[in-house]
Amino acid sequence: MKGTGGAADRFRDLIQRRLLPGLSVLGFHDRLPGSLVASEADGVVWMLDLPVAPWSTPSKICFTVAWGVHVPGLDEIVGDPPPETPTVDTCPISGRIGDCPERLDPRWFELRTLPWPAAGVVATAVSNHVLGGIATDVLPKLNALATPAGVQRFLHLNLVAGRGTPTAEELRTIRRIAALSLLLGDRENAARWLDHLETRSAATMAPDLVAERLAPLRELIAS
């Protein structure tokens, strides 16, 4: 959030002096242009960011923790242009701290403009809550997504398939599962998922058009 004083400055100070050192202890040592911090796992990159709520004011910053798992090379396989700068939003899997089926919103943290020494006490408490939440809520999820195989497993388990017209998200997920199979060297499984993608896609467009769009990926699997 832009600003020359008040909560915006306190927020920047919270990040630099408290959160970044704590995140380094948790294993997030890298700084990437598209996120606050990142950590390389086994063939994937874990990304963390701190989106600021639009209802923040000069005297109060509300923010949450966004996380994502980036798989290098996945976009190229599915034929999409890779993002110039990978971000949490471009990751095949992403979420926010506190996400769960029982809650509509993620967990939000609040940093207010206060006089010292109250400001220091509040900053310490907020940083402890943020780092504690990452350690107990986000890291367990990321640990299950430490490899491309883990990402594929998650996408498969969470694939919402129907018998009617597929959603764009369903088709995108099937496409990614097929691409991950190819990335993992399992061409036979990639071909099976591509067949499934062709069948589901045919419910939304002409079969010849579907075949034309999937031809480059089929050639890649066969090569």
Question: What is the percent of the chain with per-residue pLDDT over 90, rounded to a whole number?
Answer: 60
pLDDT of 49 > 50? The answer is yes
Residue 1 is predicted with a pLDDT of 38
The residue among 148 and 80 whose pLDDT is bigger is 148
Domain assignments of the chain as residue spans, ordered by start: 7-143, 159-222
Backbone angles phi, psi at 145, to 5 degrees: -125, 45
Neighbours of 189 (CB within 10 A): 17
The residue among 223 and 68 whose pLDDT is bigger is 68
Contact predicate 13/123, CB 8 Å: yes
pLDDT of 161 > 80? The answer is no
Neighbours of 63 (CB within 10 A): 21
Residue 214 is predicted with a pLDDT of 84
Backbone angles phi, psi at 130, to 5 degrees: -65, -50
pLDDT of 162 > 70? The answer is no
pTM for the full predicted model? 0.88
- How big is the CA angle at 222 (ends 216 and 223), to the nearest 5 degrees? 90
3-class DSSP assignment, residue 206 = coil
Question: What is the percent of the chain with per-residue pLDDT over 70, rounded to a whole number?
Answer: 96
Contact predicate 65/50, CB 8 Å: yes
Provide Rg for the chain, Cα atoms. Answer: 21
In the predicted model, what is the mean pLDDT of residues 160-168?
79
pLDDT of 2 > 60? The answer is no
Q: Please, which pLDDT band fits residue 95 given cuts at 50, 70 and 90?
A: very high
